[in-house]
Amino acid sequence: MEHTAGFGKCNKVCESEIEHVWERVRVPLGQRSYDIRIGPGLLLETPAYLRELGEFTGPFVITDTNAGDLVGHDLISLLKQQGFGHTQLLSFEAGEQSKNMDTVVSLSRSLVGLGADRNSLIVALGGGVTGDICGFLASIYMRGVDFIQLPTTYLAQVDSSVGGKTGVDLPEGKNLLGTFAQPRLVLADIGVLCTLPGQEIRNGIAEIVKYGMIKDRELFQRLEDDWWNIINLEPGVTAYLVRRSCEIKAEVVSKDEREGGYRRVLNFGHTIGHAVEAASMYTIAHGEAVAMGMAAVSKISVSRGLLSGAEFDRLLGVLERFELPVTIPEGIGEEEVMENLKRDKKVRDGRVHFVLVKGIGDTVIADDVTEEEVLKAIRDSRG
């Protein structure tokens, strides 16, 4: 992976200094409500936002090795310059393989060594892996300390940094240990996205397509009309996409923080997607698996007369435009996909819940989708 940009210098986006693209989204959760700030160059404003949070020990900035090199050291220098003399940087090896209890224990022991107490503030600087580890660690360190999220991948900015799901993986499966813990603040600096490889940008876009499909026809239309600016991370459209994604996630999470029912709508495309990801032994990227899952479950929606063929074609068109796959590769066996579907931790009473679409922008949850329907959708997609 090529890492060239430094903190606050991220080519066209930061240099443009277009303040009017700064956006704000509130996550309304009573006393645990918080703001998501979105815009280019926001990381430079971190000290000011930290001051608004009041007194704390630290901050302890936790990052992975890549985000650490890209922005972590510069952030620590900035914080020190601006009066946060006790700030510390902790880092772990980048990658999903670090999302485990060993990393949590090792970071916790470092925190103890650095004098982190119950009044500490943890800053999660990085992608979804960093956010999930830090949120989990913050929720259990000394029975819980505050944390904020500074997401640096597209996926983390549009999805994982918002909503309070935290966790780590076990050898038996992903995200099997975790908590619900909301951050105090999210600062999404869209300027840092420009160092992401195309694959990571597509992972984020797959989630944005999901938000359009489940809740927002206008957002979906923007993906169709403005694709060139979107893949080029033009600041105005990027800020809009991050804002709308966060607004939709905030609206869903505020109604169903702990996934009692309604929050399941966010799993559109993910039920089959996760099964494909697991069946591929995680060689298929998350965004690609979600794209395949969205195509398959939309095909089921078409078969049930919920979604028109024309709207289904629009979904395929958008996914293909962003180079996201719409068919499950031949190498992924149907049986493995079905096995993994049944093992999904979201299965309730032996029933797999599928989020189907009733036209672009509207959904219905179905717990009666048969194995034959899923198999047919997989086979049809393979042509």
Q: Choose the catalytic residue: 23, 99, 165, 243.
A: 165
183 touches ligand NAD (CB under 6 A): no
Q: CB of residue 372 vs ligand NAD: minimum separation in angstroms?
A: 30
Q: Choose the catalytic residue: 45, 96, 234, 259.
A: 259
Q: Does the active-site annotation cover 93?
A: no
Q: Does the active-site annotation cover 263?
A: yes
Q: CB of residue 186 vs ligand NAD: minimum separation in angstroms?
A: 12
Contact 324, 291 (CB under 8 A): yes
How large is the C-alpha radius of gyration of the chain?
A: 20
Strands (E) in 159-238, as ranges, are: 168-170, 173-177, 185-189
Q: Which stretch, 102-110, 190-198, 275-283, 335-343, contacts ligand NAD (CB under 6 A)?
A: 190-198
Number of C-alpha atoms within 13 angstroms, CB side, residue 142?
14
| Nearest-angstrom CA–CA distance, 195 and 7 | 11
Region of 280 (left: φ > 0; alpha: ψ -120 to 50; beta: rest) is alpha
Instruction: List binders of ligand NAD among 62-81 (CB under 6 A).
Output: 64, 66-67, 70
Options 87, 88, 149, 195; binder of ligand NAD; rule CB under 6 A? 195
Q: Does the active-site annotation cover 3?
A: no
| Nearest-angstrom CA–CA distance, 276 and 288 | 10
Strands (E) in the chain, as ranges, are: 23-27, 34-39, 57-64, 88-92, 120-126, 146-151, 168-170, 173-177, 185-189, 354-357, 363-366
Options 100, 175, 179, 229; binder of ligand NAD; rule CB under 6 A? 175
Q: Choose the catalytic residue: 286, 299, 314, 353.
A: 286
160 touches ligand NAD (CB under 6 A): yes
Question: Could you tell me which residues come within 8 angstroms of residue 10 by beta carbon, excluding any fewer than 6 positions away?
Answer: 40, 191, 192, 193, 194, 195
Q: Choose the catalytic residue: 23, 207, 311, 373.
A: 207
Q: Does the active-site annotation cover 249?
A: yes
> Which of residues 33 and 119 has its CB atom nearest to ligand NAD in the complex?
33
Q: Choose the catalytic residue: 222, 270, 299, 353.
A: 270
> Which of residues 116 and 156 has its CB atom nearest to ligand NAD in the complex?
156
146 touches ligand NAD (CB under 6 A): no
Instruction: List binders of ligand NAD among 96-135 (CB under 6 A).
Output: 96, 99, 126-130, 132
Q: How many CB atoms lie within 10 A of CB 351?
A: 11
C-alpha separations of 29 from 51, 61, 80, 370 in Å? 22, 25, 32, 36
Options 23, 159, 257, 288; binder of ligand NAD; rule CB under 6 A? 159
Q: Which stretch, 52-60, 107-115, 152-160, 366-374, contacts ligand NAD (CB under 6 A)?
A: 152-160
Q: CB of residue 96 vs ligand NAD: minimum separation in angstroms?
A: 5
Contact 121, 60 (CB under 8 A): yes
DSSP string, 115-130: T--TTEEEEEEESHHH
x/- site string to ligand NAD, residues 202 to 231, per CB under 6 A?
-x----------------------------
| Nearest-angstrom CA–CA distance, 155 and 161 | 9
Q: Does the active-site annotation cover 73?
A: no
Number of C-alpha atoms within 13 angstroms, CB side, residue 32?
15
363 touches ligand NAD (CB under 6 A): no
Question: Could you tell me which residues come within 8 angstroms of residue 218 by beta carbon, excluding any fewer than 6 positions away?
Answer: none
- Cα 280 from chain centre: 21
Q: Choose the catalytic residue: 249, 264, 299, 353.
A: 249
Residues that bind ligand NAD (CB under 6 A): 64, 66-67, 70, 94-96, 99, 126-130, 132, 152-153, 155-156, 159-160, 163, 165, 174-175, 192, 195-196, 200, 203
Active-site residue set: 143, 165, 207, 249, 259, 263, 267, 270, 274, 286
